Chain A
């Protein structure tokens, strides 16, 4: 009887020991790509998770960066003050086996994560970041094990902190300093430009460069329409044969585009992952959703970042209410010849007129 008791005690102790070793056996390490970052640089960190236990461990993917960052995985402070997480939180059903990744004993797995799109990094400061996740379901889809881990007080993985200096794109002062404008990504610049949808530092920088190019283009387009003669090759290439009423419509459109770019509170969203350049809801000024093709476009010239911003701004009903009748330069040129009244309603025609590449007089 007493022998049996001893044996079962030993069995329980062994179980606790292995679970404890299992949970504590995941080491997390952070490695910053640089020690300091400027406001237009993305803040890259490498997260490495290593199974230091002598048994395989299953980890809940949601708390790794396996499918991108889908939870707040890090604790971030700027000069000692905690910075809010701006990314997504998902409501999910209970995890199943397929939601876990297995790390063999000794195995490591690394993820690269861009932090400036996930945490408010608008202020210039010394930042400190640590990987800090906890969940009772972190280690295996097994409620019994979760309870044991809870009893042992093991409920997460924590890394040593990594630190870096960041020169922030200081957003509006006052009570809103450093706070995101609409809750999901980045805040409002002193010029009243807002970012939503997790725009990273380099994306914000690209958008601001594109916007500056768009303003130059719209000012130049206005200037041309105010001073050029009615046989302007630039006008006829994109809008077709001259008529005073069509010319006036185009002038009016560009005057409103220019005014919107310079005076209205523009919002740029970076959450789109589609192959478009960008999209807008014409009835919802002045928010522009930037998509994949935008990031690789040149700042100015044909199908550029600046031109895309002109194109999208022209869609807003309160601006010019344009449509996408045809896409591309050859389509827009053909439309100008075949149907000038449609050309003056086509967004790409406005974009190409503004980009003026190649240069026409």
Chain B
């Protein structure tokens, strides 16, 4: 049902997104999780907008597998989070190498073998990523733009 209330909240969301984007003066990358062909494997894809390059701090993103708990798997039958069994690392300040360049119009993908970090009983799960940090300019790391990727509901064998 498309209620007036829902339509209002959608417009507000749209307005908010536009204002966030104009705040950053640039269009944001898009990102998504996809089910891969292999069992218990997801593909993560992030695509920069056609006109703008961005930098992504790789820490706590799929490009950091599995040295941080950047992904949660929630069993949809009981809303329980699976125990993360990957590594957790203590770090200092990020080095320039820790920022990945997303060239304008290009996309980066990475494959995530979930069994390396979770013991997964067969079932339906929601895979959700932590918000990511984007930068326009590595000489100004105070200006951070947060990117949230939509969660994926997926049947895992």
Residue positions of A touching B, CB distance < 8 A: 274-283, 289, 291, 293, 303, 308, 311-312, 315, 317, 323-324, 327-328, 347-348, 351
Contact = CB atoms under 8 A, between A and B. Distances in A.
Interface stretch (B10-18, B33-41, B90-98): B90-98
A283 B85 contact: yes
Given A276-B67, A303-B92, A348-B90, 20 more contacts: A274-B67, A274-B89, A275-B91, A277-B90, A278-B89, A280-B88, A282-B88, A293-B91, A293-B92, A308-B90, A315-B88, A317-B83, A323-B69, A324-B68, A324-B89, A324-B90, A328-B92, A328-B93, A347-B88, A347-B90
A279 B90 contact: yes
A283 B68 CA distance: 13
A347 B90 CA distance: 9
A67 to B, nearest CB: 21
Nearest to A294: B90
B95 to A, nearest CB: 6
Nearest to A278: B90
B87 interface: yes
A216 B87 CA distance: 26
Contacts of B84: 282
Contact of A279 (B60, B83, B87, B95): B87
Contacts, number: 58
A281 B92 contact: no
B49 interface: no
Interface size class of B (residues with CB under 8 A): 10 to 19
A324 B60 CA distance: 9
A286 to B, nearest CB: 14
Given A275-B95, A276-B67, A283-B83, A323 B88 contact: yes
Interface of B: 60, 67-69, 83-93, 95
Given A279-B67, A324-B68, A312 B90 contact: yes
A88 to B, nearest CB: 21
Contact of B90 (A276, A281, A282, A283): A276
Contacts of B60: 324
A280 B91 contact: no
25 contacts: A274-B67, A276-B67, A276-B89, A276-B91, A277-B89, A277-B91, A278-B89, A279-B87, A279-B89, A279-B90, A280-B87, A281-B85, A281-B87, A281-B88, A282-B84, A283-B83, A303-B92, A312-B90, A324-B68, A324-B69, A324-B89, A327-B91, A327-B92, A347-B90, A348-B90
A278 B90 CA distance: 6
B47 to A, nearest CB: 27
B67, B68, B92 interface centre (most CB from chain A within 10 Å): B92
A36 B3 CA distance: 84
B60, B83, B89 interface centre (most CB from chain A within 10 Å): B89
A247 B65 CA distance: 33
A185 B88 CA distance: 23
- Give the top 6 A-B pairs by smallest Cβ distance, nearest first: A279-B89, A277-B90, A276-B89, A279-B87, A283-B85, A315-B88
Contacts of A280: 87-88
B144 to A, nearest CB: 12
A290 to B, nearest CB: 10
A348 B90 CA distance: 8
A307 to B, nearest CB: 9
Nearest to A324: B88
Contacts of A281: 85-88
Contacts of B87: 279-281, 289
B89 A291 contact: yes
